[in-house]
A and B are shown apart, each in its own frame.
Chain A
Amino acid sequence: GESVGLHLPTLSVQEGDNSIINCAYSNSASDYFIWYKQESGKGPQFIIDIRSNMDKRQGQRVTVLLNKTVKHLSLQIAATQPGDSAVYFCSFRDNYGQNFVFGPGTRLSVLP
Chain B
Amino acid sequence: EAGVTQFPSHSVIEKGQTVTLRCDPISGHDNLYWYRRVMGKEIKFLLHFVKESKQDESGMPNNRFLAERTGGTYSTLKVQPAELEDSGVYFCASSLWKGGSGELFFGEGSRLTVL
Residues of A bordering B, CB below 8 Å: 4, 31-32, 34, 36, 41-46, 49, 51, 89, 91, 94, 96, 98-105
Contacts and interface: CB of A to CB of B under 8 A. Distances in A.
Nearest to B107: A43
A34 B109 CA distance: 19
Interface string B34-74: 01000011111100101000011000000000000000000
Contact of B109 (A32, A43, A94): A43
B106 A44 contact: yes
B104 interface: yes
Contacts of A32: 100-101
Contact of A46 (B42, B43, B56, B104): B104
A21 B108 CA distance: 23
B1 interface: no
Interface residues of B, number: 26
Contacts, number: 59
Nearest to A102: B43
B106 A49 contact: no
A43 B108 contact: yes
Contact of B97 (A45, A96, A98): A98
A24 to B, nearest CB: 13
Closest 8 CB pairs of A and B: A43-B106, A102-B43, A46-B103, A104-B42, A44-B106, A43-B108, A43-B107, A102-B42
- Which residue, B48, B91, B93, B104, has most C-beta atoms of chain A within 10 A? B104
A89 B44 CA distance: 12
A45 B106 contact: yes
